[in-house]
Amino acid sequence: MPLEALLVRELRDFVLDLRVAVDEGETLALLGVNGSGKTTVLNLLAGLLRPDGGRIALHGRVLFDAGQRIDMPTEDRRVGLVFQDYALFPHLSVRDNVAFGLRARRTDRRELGDRVDRELEAFGLADHADVPASRLSGGERQRVALARAVAVEPELLLLDEPFAALDVRSRPPLRRELRETIRRIRVPAVLVTHSIADVRACADRVSVIQRGRQVLDTTPDTLLESAIGHEWHETAGSPGRAPTG
Amino acid sequence: MPEHQVRSIPARAPARRARRAERLVVRGALGVLIAGSIAFVVLPILALILQLPVDALPRVFSDPVVVDALLLSLATATVSTAIVLMAMTPIAYVTARYAFPGRELVETLMDLPIVLPPAVAGLGLLLAFGRFGLVGQYLSVFGVSLAFTPVAVVMAQVFVASPFYLRQARTSFAELDPVYEAAARTLGASRLYVFLHVTVPLTIEGLVSGTIMTFARALGEFGATILFAGNLQGRTQTMPLAIYSTMQSDLQASCALALVLVAISFGVIAAVRVTGRRRRAA
């Protein structure tokens, strides 16, 4: 598998201990309630948090290995991360947000312009190129965050509750878009969510996480047939608990 | 209608009058207090202006004592501010972002000059870096003598003025959500690139206002300077020292220097208020 990771990290209330393997162009959804450790998984993969033990390999490159004392810095991992609130740079325009990673990697100026134009076009942002990122709607922000992450051609795409900040009605088309984007760039993707609807629309495989451990590994279609999936649907899907959109 | 209620109406009128009188007295007292406080701040500045007739300006501003002090002050305060920026920015960032053993101690020690009387700072600097000082005795072996030189002026200013920038910068960094820096790093930016292209632009108002406060404090430095650097015209005599020296011989020169400092102080307050407002609006 292009992404193979064994992650061990002691959290406040429990020990996270998880094996994650994702294929090229495949989307793995990590489904869990708040505090189950699913966002931590993304931070460990991206190098923003250091695991206490385990190993992370991406396309044969070792990003982390506790035994060999390897811990590659975040900026060298080529792991794209779309943050829950998108974390767009508020002082930059849409174009400069998308160009940020390419500039940081000292991309040749002509190539940079071409690639940024291409991403702005692909994500339907060409008309908004010069708008400050702070003035966009929720859906537009999500597109900019995706375009920004994809522009540097990551080898792994991580998505932290990419639809949670959006209103329920704008979610379905954006779910389809995300699915197409992941197919287009053909990298492994890990999607963290607490919404069954996200799982069904975007994921190829789903791993249910409870207190830092995987309790179920299945496909979105069979998720609801299992006892855990059914129970999840009953409790998390109920109004007022966790919106599934 | 019960009798006691009827009687209670006239009984209330004096109470109401008393309340109104009380309000008037409080308002009057507050007005007098505010007017008095403003006068207390404005009168000394007015006195400086009145002491200096316009036709005396050409003579005063060609006086070498005044010119030397002005140039030395601007030069040393600029150099001091630049040194504070370069030395304190990394410390401010590290103490704002990372928890490490002894962090509180570092913060407390670095803030110390803000409460330390400048005369104490000057004496301490002299005993540390003076010719026979703790460090100075070894420097003088190599022919390096710091006390009573322009370098000493800068050292005194850096010592007393650095916390003004450090505190503001630390607060600004701590208030910035680390998610922007994390996002930049996942995009392939090195820590230095992230700092220069994300952290600094997003905290620039706070950094600028801290820089202005440090410059102002350096410009006004008196106590530590006179003890550690002395009061040599053209060499270590900054504006505040020149004000002190010319006060008895040439009051008009003294006032001219004082008014230059007043003008700069006004500029500083205006600049800090403007950057503060922009920060709140953002």
What domains are defined for chain A?
A: 3-236 (3.40.50.300)
Q: Is B207 on the interface with A (CB under 8 A)?
A: no
Report d(CA A75, CA A52) in Å as an integer: 20
Q: What integer is the mean pLDDT of B192-219?
A: 95
Q: What integer is the mean pLDDT of A183-195?
A: 94
B235 with B215: CB under 8 angstroms? no
> Is the model more confident about A124 or about B278?
A124
A31 with A199: CB under 8 angstroms? yes
pLDDT surpassing 80 at residue A204 = yes
pLDDT surpassing 60 at residue B282 = no
Q: What integer is the mean pLDDT of B212-234?
A: 95
Beta carbons of A104 and B186 less than 8 Å apart: no
pLDDT surpassing 60 at residue A238 = no
Beta strands in A11-46 (DSSP E): 15-22, 27-31
Q: Is B75 on the interface with A (CB under 8 A)?
A: no
Q: What percent of chain B has pLDDT over 90?
A: 77
Counting one residue from A and one from B, how many pairs have CB atoms under 8 Å apart?
65
Interface list for A 82-141 with B (CB within 8 A): 83, 85, 87, 89-91, 100-101, 103-105
Q: Is B179 on the interface with A (CB under 8 A)?
A: yes
Report d(CA A157, CA A4) in Å as an integer: 14
Interface list for B 186-205 with A (CB within 8 A): 186-191, 193, 197-198, 201-202
Residue B254: predicted pLDDT:
92
Beta carbons of A101 and B189 less than 8 Å apart: yes
Query: Quick one: CA torsion of B57, B59, B65, B68, rounded to 10 degrees?
Result: 70
Residue A244: predicted pLDDT:
41
Structure tokens at A160: 């932290």
DSSP state of A108: -
Residue whose pair of structure tokens reads 């993304």 in the numeric block: A42
Residue A31: predicted pLDDT:
94
Q: What percent of chain A has pLDDT over 70?
A: 95
Shortest Cα distance, chain B CAs vs residue A48, angstroms: 7
Which of A58, A63, A84, A100 best probes binding to B when mutated, by most B CB atoms within 10 angstroms? A100
Q: How far apart are the first and last CA of chain A?
A: 32
List all residues 6 or more positions away from A64 whose beta carbon is below 8 Å from its beta carbon: A44, A47, A50, A51, A54, A55, A56, A70, A71, A72
pLDDT tier at A236 (50, 70, 90 boundaries)?
low
Beta carbons of B189 and A48 less than 8 Å apart: no
Residues of B in contact with A100 (CB under 8 A): 184, 187, 189, 197
A220 exposed, middle or buried (CB, 10 Å; 0-12, 13-18, 19+)? buried
What was the ipTM of the complex prediction? Answer: 0.91
Task: Among A47, A91, A101, select the one facing B187 at the smallest CB separation.
Answer: A101
Residue B280: predicted pLDDT:
61
Shortest Cα distance, chain B CAs vs residue A227, angstroms: 37
* Local structure of B126: helix, strand or coil: helix
Interface list for A 47-86 with B (CB within 8 A): 47-48, 73-81, 83, 85
* Local structure of A22: helix, strand or coil: strand
Query: Quick one: CA torsion of B166, B171, B175, B180, rounded to 10 degrees?
Result: 0
Residue B1: predicted pLDDT:
47
List all residues 6 or more positions away from B239 whose beta carbon is below 8 Å from its beta carbon: B69, B70, B72, B73, B219, B257, B260, B261
Quote the mean pLDDT of chain A. 91
Residue B244: predicted pLDDT:
95
Which residue of A lies nearest to B196 if distances are taken between CA atoms?
Answer: A104
B69 with B257: CB under 8 angstroms? yes
